[in-house]
């Protein structure tokens, strides 16, 4: 019956399916709404419908940041399911995802809005932490602003990544960097993109070029820490989201604009050469050994990410993770001359 269903929103479809079967006292029925998996549950004390959103429904882009739809189908499915919902439970640890799901589901439904709650790990129901949601939102807006600033070099690099890169001017152990405040995610991103190599970690030729291309202030931890402090203040309610974003934009605007240096892609290290064991560098068009000159040609419109510590079982070439028109593929061998695990040269045409 319309209006008597408990609508439960989770992070992804795997979590939604698990929760549906955990709640079930009777039958669980799966279906699709706008091609999004949904589970209808006989929960004993009433019916429930569980959906996983797969991530944020909206994300910011550009400078100034503009929030645009990121997952249209889950948002549309959520609107449809909300029509028959008597209550809304947001089973996610991400306050921004919870806020976005609430706003989409409860648009024009004040009764459902009053019944919306976040389920904590201990099973208790609480109100959405809107301050935490605003802090996460302004952090994403800061990333969007910084991505525009870094576009001439690499828009995937974040402010925290540059701090880590600045620390690696001399080889340094990763645990030392993490104790100094560097996040594991920054180390992973720098390694995947070929800017940071080995243990102790050191900068690749491309990493050195990035450091010379950006404003020196971006390599100092104080700059990143200042932005983090403003974001944290939003979460505490001592600084408005709008003021924090204004400060961040002014800080970035005062930096020297980076210029793309020659040889940046060629200096991004992918792995070791199967012939001479020297480093191989590259990201687009071709991967080439810095020692013997062995090279692998890449398809057009493909960017190669490193897959650290892996090699092809057949030919010992370093595996790459291809990004094809913005989409990450599975790790493949770059040797297109006969290796059975090779990257298809026609894949990006």
Contact 306/192 with Cβ under 8 angstroms?
A: yes
More confident position, 45 or 81: 81
Decide if domain 5-128 falls under CATH 3.40.50.300: no
Q: Return the biggest CA–CA distance within the chain.
A: 72
pLDDT in tens, 64-77: 999 999 999 999 99
| pLDDT for residue 43 is more than 80 | no
CATH topology of domain 132-253: Topoisomerase I; domain 2 (1.10.460)
Residue 133's nearest CA partner among 231, 61, 9, 54 is: 231
Q: Full-prediction pTM beyond 0.85?
A: yes
Task: Please tell me the predicted confidence (pLDDT) of residue 136.
Answer: 98
1 alpha carbon, distance to own chain's centre: 39
SS3 (DSSP) at 215: coil
- The confidence score (pLDDT) of residue 67 equals 98
Q: In this predicted model, what pLDDT tens digit does every residue of 201-224 receive, in sequence order?
A: 999 999 999 999 999 999 999 999
Predicted confidence (pLDDT) per residue in 138-182, tens digit: 999 999 999 999 999 999 999 999 999 999 988 999 999 999 889
> What pLDDT does residue 348 have?
37
pLDDT tens-digit profile of 249-289?
A: 999 999 999 999 999 999 999 999 999 999 999 988 889 99
Nearest to 103 by CA among 75, 83, 81, 84: 75
Per domain, the residue ranges of the chain are 5-128, 132-253, 268-328
């Amino acid at each position: 019956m319309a209006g008597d269903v408990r609508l439960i929103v989770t992070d992804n479809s795997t979590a939604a399916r698990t929760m549906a079967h955990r709640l079930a006292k009777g039958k669980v029925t799966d279906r699709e709404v706008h091609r999004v998996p949904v589970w209808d549950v006989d929960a004993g004390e009433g019916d429930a419908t569980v959906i996983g959103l797969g991530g944020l429904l909206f994300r910011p882009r550009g400078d100034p940041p503009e929030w645009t739809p990121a997952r249209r189908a889950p948002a549309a499915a959520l609107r449809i399911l909300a029509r028959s919902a008597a209550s809304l439970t947001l089973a996610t640890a991400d306050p921004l995802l919870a806020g976005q799901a609430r706003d989409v589901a409860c648009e024009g439904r004040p009764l459902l809005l009053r019944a919306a709650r976040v389920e904590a790990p201990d099973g208790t129901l609480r109100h959405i932490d809107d301050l935490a949601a605003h802090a996460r939102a302004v952090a994403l807006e800061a990333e969007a602003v910084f991505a525009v600033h870094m576009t001439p070099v690499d828009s995937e690099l974040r402010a925290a990544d540059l701090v880590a890169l600045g620390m690696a001017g001399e080889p340094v152990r990763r645990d030392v960097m993490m104790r100094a405040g560097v996040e594991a995610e920054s180390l992973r991103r720098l390694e995947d993109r070929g800017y940071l190599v080995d243990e102790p970690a050191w900068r690749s030729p491309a990493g050195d070029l990035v450091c010379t291309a950006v404003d020196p202030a971006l390599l100092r931890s104080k700059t990143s820490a200042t932005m983090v402090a403003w974001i944290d203040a939003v979460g505490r309610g001592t600084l408005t989201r709008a003021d924090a974003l204004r400060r961040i934009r002014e800080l970035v605007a005062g930096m020297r604009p980076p210029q793309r240096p020659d040889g940046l892609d060629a200096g991004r290290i992918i792995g070791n050469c199967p012939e001479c064991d020297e480093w191989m560098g590259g990201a687009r068009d071709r991967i080439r050994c810095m020692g013997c000159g062995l090279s692998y040609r890449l398809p057009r419109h493909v960017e190669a990410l490193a897959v650290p510590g892996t090699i092809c079982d057949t030919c010992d070439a370093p595996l790459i993770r291809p990004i094809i028109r913005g989409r990450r593929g599975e790790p493949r061998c770059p040797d297109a001359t006969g290796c059975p695990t090779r990257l298809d040269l026609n894949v990006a045409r």
